């Protein structure tokens, strides 16, 4: 085989362990028309509830301009209202930052994951690390790892402690102290608010505690707020606490923290169920060096012109956009209720979520059916096998202190959710 770099050879091995769902061959996935017997994968956070509405709007309202066909750097000099202006405005309207987000203190790039990857490259040398509490969104691992080879140090918080509470901070501190002795050098901490997979928001006092921690140990604080517009009520949590962006808080004053350490990533792709279009924004209001570096990194690794045209149309039409966000939350809430009802029917414990696009259920009892005396890993493998045989797939929450928790992405049309739940009943050996 022709030569591969040492880092590429290491990467090839890592890829296999990162996102197991990716290993499923594309032709095995469900399609109502082309492959009705295929596997319904309920593991990837793609919101299909509003797709027909979004598609119809875009077909009528999107205008491609000649500049959209050029390099992004030419395009952004050209037409007046690209997403570079519209996206900061969107964040200002929906997250209410204390200091307005502008073109100058933010960078638009092809997805939040890609921006996290670039950001890690700016702040970590080879083999240095970011820290996160478990459970966490599995994509953070590859986002940190590639291209900068940043490690993600996972902090286990005992199951009796809420990982979103500030009681988790001492565990982060212990991890930092340990890494001072054994490595790796920790450069930052990731906070995902609203949390994926737990579907809840961090209390403001926790965000302040994270910012204080960042100051105390000279760390960056990277807050992922991609689900900030998706807090919804349900029968389990009829009055959810509001999402408060780190940008809306006076963290420099409350946490006595250098604001240059605080960075927020967000974007409209989850809001509009359009993650394939690739768009995200990183906001760093007091760190011009990071902005300069990211501006340069996204010069050629930019959002595509049609993506720019689509989102500029959608998020600039404020009346329609606000209606859309509200209607989307209503549909998410309705879809969540289908899962709650199903879990109640089968006495499967469900974690009371109220944000994002996923529900977390505890399959401890179901897993017992797959060999009481077997090791947990074996039971989980047998369960996965049974699900694939039944034509459905959900995945564990990932490095969770409660290893029997599974995450189901439920933002699918009703008939798909119902079919998926029907297949899960078969896989779990449940009677209707």
Ligand X SMILES: Cc1ncc(COP(=O)(O)O)c(C=O)c1O
Instruction: Tell me the two tokens of residue 92.
Output: 């200002």
Output the smallest distance, CB 360 to ligand X, in A.
14
Q: Which helix (H) or strand (E) holds 222?
A: strand 220-224
Can residue 228 be called a binding residue for ligand X (CB under 6 A)?
Answer: no
Minimum CB distance to ligand X smaller for 202 or for 428: 202
Is 137 a binding residue for ligand X by CB under 6 A? The answer is yes
* Complex with ligand X: residue 277 or 392, whichever CB lies closer: 277
To ligand X, the closest distance from the beta carbon of 91 in angstroms equals 14
Q: Which stretch binds ligand X (CB under 6 A): 106-114, 124-132, 198-206, 300-308?
A: 106-114
Q: Are 371 and 378 in contact (CB under 8 A)?
A: yes
Give CA–CA dist 112/266, Å, rounded.
Answer: 7
Separation of alpha carbons 236 and 255, rounded Å: 33
**Does the protein bind ligand X through residue 269 (CB under 6 A)?**
yes
Closer residue to ligand X in complex, CB, 147/288: 147
Identify the helix (H) or strand (E) that includes residue 130: strand 129-133
Q: Do 344 and 355 touch, CB atoms closer than 8 A?
A: no
**Contact stretch for ligand X (CB under 6 A) within 13-21, 110-118, 121-129, 418-426:** 110-118
- 113 near ligand X, judged by CB under 6 A: yes
> Is residue 283 a contact residue for ligand X (CB under 6 A)?
no
What sign does the CA torsion over 295, 296, 297, 299 have? positive
Q: Could you give the CA distance from residue 111 to residue 139 in angstroms, rounded to a whole number?
A: 12
- Does 139 bind ligand X (CB under 6 A)? Our answer is yes
List 75, 152, 192, 303, residue binding ligand X (CB under 6 A) = 192
Residue placing its CB nearer to ligand X in the complex, 113 or 403: 113
**What one-character DSSP code corresponds to residue 381?**
H
Strand order in the sheet with 262-266: 106-109, 280-283, 262-266, 220-224, 186-192, 129-133, 151-155
**Does residue 354 bind ligand X (CB under 6 A)?**
no
For the CB of residue 4, give the shortest distance to ligand X in the complex, in Å.
26
Query: What are the distances in angstroms from CA 217 to CA 119, 123, 213, 214, 257?
Result: 19, 15, 6, 6, 11
Q: Counting contacts by CB under 6 A, is residue 226 touching ligand X?
A: yes
If one asks whether residue 268 binds ligand X (CB under 6 A), the answer comes out as no
Of 11-19, 53-61, 105-113, 179-187, which part binds ligand X (CB under 6 A)?
Answer: 105-113
**φ, ψ dihedrals at 96, nearest 5°:** 50, 60
Q: CA torsion angle for 229, 190, 96, 85 (degrees, to 10)? A: -90
- For the record, the structure tokens of 273 come out as 């169920």
Residue 275 sits in the site that holds ligand X (CB under 6 A): yes
**Binding region for ligand X (CB under 6 A) out of 32-40, 49-57, 109-117, 254-262:** 109-117
Is 109 a binder of ligand X (CB under 6 A)? no
Q: Give whichever of 137 and 202 is closer to ligand X, judged by the CB atom.
A: 137
**CA neighbours closer than 13 Å in the CB half-sphere of residue 273:** 23
Please select the residue that binds ligand X; options are 67, 84, 89, 224, rule is CB under 6 A: 224
Residue with Cβ nearer ligand X (197 or 305): 197
97 makes contact with ligand X (CB under 6 A): no
| Position 45 contacts ligand X (CB under 6 A) | yes
**267 contacts ligand X (rule: CB under 6 A):** yes
**What sign does the CA torsion over 184, 190, 195, 196 have?**
negative
Question: Which residues here bind ligand X, judged by CB under 6 A?
Answer: 45, 111-114, 137, 139, 192, 196, 224, 226, 267, 269, 275, 280
């Amino acid at each position: 085989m022709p030569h591969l770099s040492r880092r590429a050879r290491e990467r090839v091995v890592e890829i296999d362990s990162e996102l197991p769902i990716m290993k499923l061959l594309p032709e095995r996935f469900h399609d109502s028309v082309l492959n009705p017997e295929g596997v319904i994968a309920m593991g990837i956070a793609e919101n299909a509830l509003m797709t027909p509405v979004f598609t119809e709007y875009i077909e009528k309202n999107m205008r491609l301009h000649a500049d959209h066909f050029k390099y992004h750097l030419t395009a952004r000099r050209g037409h007046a209202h690209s997403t570079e202006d519209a996206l900061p405005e969107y964040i200002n309207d929906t997250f209410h930052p204390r200091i307005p987000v502008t073109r100058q203190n933010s960078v638009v790039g092809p997805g939040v994951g890609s921006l996290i990857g670039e950001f890690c490259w700016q702040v970590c040398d080879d083999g240095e690390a970011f820290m996160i509490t478990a459970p966490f969104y599995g994509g953070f691992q590859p986002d940190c790892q590639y291209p900068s080879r940043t490690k993600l140090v996972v902090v286990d918080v005992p199951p009796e402690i809420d990982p979103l509470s500030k009681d988790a901070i001492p565990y982060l501190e212990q991890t930092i102290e340990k890494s001072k002795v054994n490595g790796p050098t920790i450069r930052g901490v990731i906070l995902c608010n609203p949390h994926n997979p737990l579907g809840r928001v961090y209390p403001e006092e926790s965000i302040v505690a994270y910012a204080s921690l960042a100051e105390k140990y000279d760390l960056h604080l990277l807050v992922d707020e991609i689900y900030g517009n998706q807090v919804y009520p349900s029968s389990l949590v009829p009055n959810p606490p509001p999402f408060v962006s780190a940008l809306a808080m006076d963290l420099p004053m409350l946490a006595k923290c250098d604001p240059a350490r605080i960075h927020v990533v967000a974007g409209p792709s989850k809001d509009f169920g359009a993650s394939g279009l690739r768009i995200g924004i990183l906001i760093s209001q007091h760190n011009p060096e990071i902005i300069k570096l990211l501006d340069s990194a996204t010069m050629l690794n930019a959002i595509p012109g049609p993506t720019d045209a689509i989102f500029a149309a959608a998020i600039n039409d404020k009346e329609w956009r606000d209606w859309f966000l509200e209607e989307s939350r209503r549909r998410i809430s309705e879809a969540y209720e289908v899962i709650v009802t199903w879990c109640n029917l089968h006495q499967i414990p469900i974690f009371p979520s109220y944000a994002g696009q996923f529900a977390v259920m505890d399959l401890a009892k179901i897993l017992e059916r797959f060999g009481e005396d077997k090791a947990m890993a074996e039971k989980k493998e047998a369960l996965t096998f049974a699900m694939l045989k039944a034509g459905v797939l959900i995945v564990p929450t990932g490095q969770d202190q409660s290893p029997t928790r599974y995450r189901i992405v439920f933002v699918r049309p009703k008939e798909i959710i119902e079919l998926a739940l029907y297949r899960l009943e078969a896989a779990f050996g449940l009677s209707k």
